[in-house]
Amino acid sequence: MQSNYNYLDAFLQYRSSLKNVSLVDRIYTWGDFDFKVWRKKYRNHKKKIIRTGSPRLDLWRKDVYPKIFKEDIKQLKEKYGPFFFIPSTFYSSNTDLSVALSNEKKVKKNETSISLKKRIEAKKYTYYLFKVFVSLIKKLSRDFPGHKILIKPHPTENLDNWKKKFNLNKYNNIVFENNYDLTAYIAASDCVIFNSSTAGIQSVIMEKKNVVFNGAKKDKSFRNFPNLCAKQISNYSLLKQELKKEFRPKQNQKYLKKIKSRIYITKETCSKIIFSDMKKISKKQQNNTNLNSSKIKLLSLIYIIIDRFFFALSQIKT
């Protein structure tokens, strides 16, 4: 979740292009925020850009997730009992940080409007947060022996980087796991403790207890919008008090208003809105084009063969 319009515009400059947009029939946006930035950037294709919300949000709806993730939620509760959930979005080693900094230095000037200095500061701040959370988790483990502290590393992170920071014989209520969908972890937890993670926004929509834990340094992240959608705490003593308080879903209402200013949320699911639009496009295509289906099938087969060949090479190299 980009912090502001400038950061999202810079993100689109790097991750999209006029050629991309000219080739697609539709771009579906999360809400007004990205809808406006996309349309401003690609004025000649603005009719292709539609505000629908994300299908990912459909899994967060309180009339949906208890049904889909019922068994997973039950298993997590039976397996761990009460637990605090910490989703990681950090760089969890100096090596990972060095790789990220090296990649930033390779970005060409015409690919981003954000200075190299700011981009490096943002990466370093992310690694700083990792160290802040390592210290936090150790304290939680000590002060809440009746709770598990469940950490879900980001898929891009190396789990060993986390494990190296803890003696699990000493901190025996700390768990590292990535076996279930994020939604199940949030639903089964007593509280979501996060920083700059979309899981924070998700926990608000799912009416779950949550809190942002900040470090002492000034926030330099480009993706800190989720931090505005929950109570922010920098002091560990205050966090302990907050975790012991009873939670009422109504407490999330003021933050939900903030989320709705960014994300399109309606009674109808985002998936249904998108599928309805895709059917309209499909109908027009059937009436207005003469595609050679045999050619498409042949090209698809060729691409699959090429893809598998390069995958096999990467496995051999590994």
Q: Give the domain ranges of the chain.
A: 5-52+266-317, 65-260
Q: Which residue has the higher pLDDT, 167 or 185?
A: 185
- Classified as helix, coil or strand, 183 is helix
Read off the pLDDT band of 267 (50, 70, 90): confident
Of 82-91, 239-248, 276-285, where does mean pLDDT reach its minimum? Answer: 276-285
Q: Round the average pLDDT of the chain to a whole number and report it.
A: 89
Give CA–CA dist 23/42, Å, rounded: 13
Longest dimension (CA), the chain: 68
Could you tell me which of 86, 89, 53, 112 has the C-alpha nearest to residue 277? 53
- The span from the first CA to the last CA of the chain, in angstroms, equals 33
- Is pLDDT of 121 > 90? yes
Distance CA 36, CA 162 (A): 39
Question: What does the pLDDT read at residue 271?
Answer: 93
Residue 18 has pLDDT above 60, yes or no: yes
Asked whether the beta carbons of 211 and 230 are under 8 A apart, the reply is yes
| Distance from C-alpha of 205 to C-alpha of 201, rounded to nearest angstrom | 6
Half-sphere exposure of 160 (CA within 13 A, CB side): 3
pLDDT tens digits, residue range 73-101? 999 999 999 999 999 989 999 999 999 99
Quick one: what percent of the chain has pLDDT higher than 70? 96
Burial grade of 240 (CB within 10 A; 0-12, 13-18, 19 or more): middle
Phi, psi of 249 (to 5 degrees): -55, -30
Closest CA to 267 of 18, 62, 43: 62
Q: Are 14 and 111 in contact (CB under 8 A)?
A: yes
Place of tokens 């991309």: 20
The predicted pLDDT at position 250 comes to 84
Query: pLDDT confidence of 65, banded at 50, 70, 90?
Result: very high
Residue 85: what pLDDT? Answer: 98
Neighbouring C-beta atoms of residue 282, cutoff 10 Å? 11
65-260, CATH topology level? Rossmann fold (3.40.50)
Q: What is the pLDDT of residue 314?
A: 83
Query: Percent of the chain, pLDDT > 90?
Result: 61
Question: In 3D, which of 116, 94, 95, 97 has the Cα closest to residue 105?
Answer: 116
Whole-number pLDDT of residue 114: 84
Residue among 33, 24, 249 nearest 11 (CA): 33
Tens digit of pLDDT for each residue in 178-221? 899 999 999 999 999 999 999 999 999 999 999 999 987 888 88
What SS3 state is found at 169? coil
Measured from the Cβ of residue 57, the count of other Cβ atoms closer than 10 Å reads 22
Does the pLDDT at position 297 exceed 60?
A: yes
Mean pLDDT of the 222-232 span: 89
State residue 217's pLDDT score: 85
